[in-house]
Amino acid sequence: MDKKQLTELKLQATRCRLNVLRMVRAGGHGHIGGAFSAMEIVTALYFYKMNVDPQNPRMPDRDRFILSAGHKCLAQYAALAEKGFFPKEVLDTYGSLGSHIPGHPDMHKLPGVEANTGALGHGLSIANGMALSLRLDGKPSKVYVVMGDGELAEGSNWEAAAAAAHHKINNLVAFVDFNGLQISGRVQDVMNMTPIADHFKAFGWDTVEIDGNDMAQVVDVLDRAPLSDKPLMVVAHTVKAKGLSFGENDVAFHFWNANEEQLAQAERELSELAASYEKELKGE
């Protein structure tokens, strides 16, 4: 990938972060920490890798995106809006009665959402079923999953991990957004699930570790998958609330009850970042 393409993706990720702020402004709060830590992964999937069509969201041959950690949905909503799955005005309904973008995603309310996640530890098994079916039908589609690191304590994930390896579901690529923080504190203090890659490797997966906030590394691993006949687990080392200058790596921003001063600061800083990418792309 050339530098220009990479800058374009970084610009998209920044625009998506601004979309998240738009939703937080509408609702006054939101799970921003995980949405921002996973933003490079979500952006690379929607704007670089996945075969999806906003005009035909149920296209049978599409790739699937399952947000197992459903509370990161602001990232998905931001990307779907930016991609044109629905009008951006919908972002302004976040937190309102009957909104199409509730606090966890609902496939019946929003085009582009593939599963109703939010209860943790469900996504990987759902993805297994999708991937098995797509393989059975001879379709080229891939299934991509984004999980949280705190989520790994849910035992159901390990049923799914065993099944994916046993059935050699290699049209499946899963990311763990390893930002290291969950509501009560550091993941390693709450319930240590490390070494994450070793666990999945022992179950029979291919594993890769990357800097999940480095767009080039995310793109590279997406281009390499699958590595073999095994499912691929990408342990993406990320920073919680990445891009929120005053909130990075601070568990207080797992769920943010935004105040105006900080929200305005974040909007200003990310707008400036987007402008700098735009300038770079124009060759200025």
Partner 1 sequence: MIGNYEDPRKVFGKAVGDLAMDDDRIVLLSADSGKSSGFGDFMKAHPERYFEFGIAEQGVVGVAAGLATTGKIPVFCAIAPFVTARPYEMVRNDLGYMGQNAKIVGRNGGISYSDLGATHHSLDDFGLMRLIPGMTILCPQDPNEIRSAVKAMIEHEGPVYMRIGNPKIPNLFEEEEFVIGKGRKIREDDSVTLITTGVATKAAMEAADKLAEQGISVDLIGLPTVWPLDEEMILASAKKTGKVITAEEHYAYGGLGTMVGDLLAEKLPTPLKKLAIPNTYATSGPYDAVLSYYGLDAQGIAKSVADFVK
Residues that bind partner 1 in the complex, under the rule CB under 8 A: 60, 106-108, 114-116, 118-119, 121-122, 124-134, 136-137, 155-156, 159-160, 162-163, 166-167
Least distance from C-beta 101 to partner 1, angstroms?
Answer: 16
Classified as helix, coil or strand, 201 is: helix
Output 163 or 190, the one with its CB closest to partner 1: 163
Output 63 or 82, the one with its CB closest to partner 1: 63
227 in Cβ contact with 174 (< 8 Å): no
Task: List the structure tokens of 245.
Answer: 């200058």
Output 137 or 189, the one with its CB closest to partner 1: 137
Least distance from C-beta 257 to partner 1, angstroms?
Answer: 27
Least distance from C-beta 126 to partner 1, angstroms?
Answer: 4
Short-list 208, 249, 250, CA closest to 228: 208
Output 53 or 250, the one with its CB closest to partner 1: 53
Pairwise CA distance, residues 45 & 38, whole Å: 11
Pairwise CA distance, residues 26 & 236, whole Å: 30
Pairwise CA distance, residues 262 & 245, whole Å: 10
Output 22 or 64, the one with its CB closest to partner 1: 64
Pairwise CA distance, residues 49 & 236, whole Å: 17
55 in Cβ contact with 114 (< 8 Å): no
Least distance from C-beta 131 to partner 1, angstroms?
Answer: 7
Least distance from C-beta 119 to partner 1, angstroms?
Answer: 6
Classified as helix, coil or strand, 86 is: coil
Output 166 or 224, the one with its CB closest to partner 1: 166
Sign of CA dihedral 101, 119, 25, 241: negative
Asked if omega into 231 is within 30° of 0 (cis), the reply is no
Output 128 or 182, the one with its CB closest to partner 1: 128
Least distance from C-beta 265 to partner 1, angstroms?
Answer: 37
* DSSP-assigned states of every residue in 117-140: --STT-HHHHHHHHHHHHHHTT--
Least distance from C-beta 10 to partner 1, angstroms?
Answer: 32
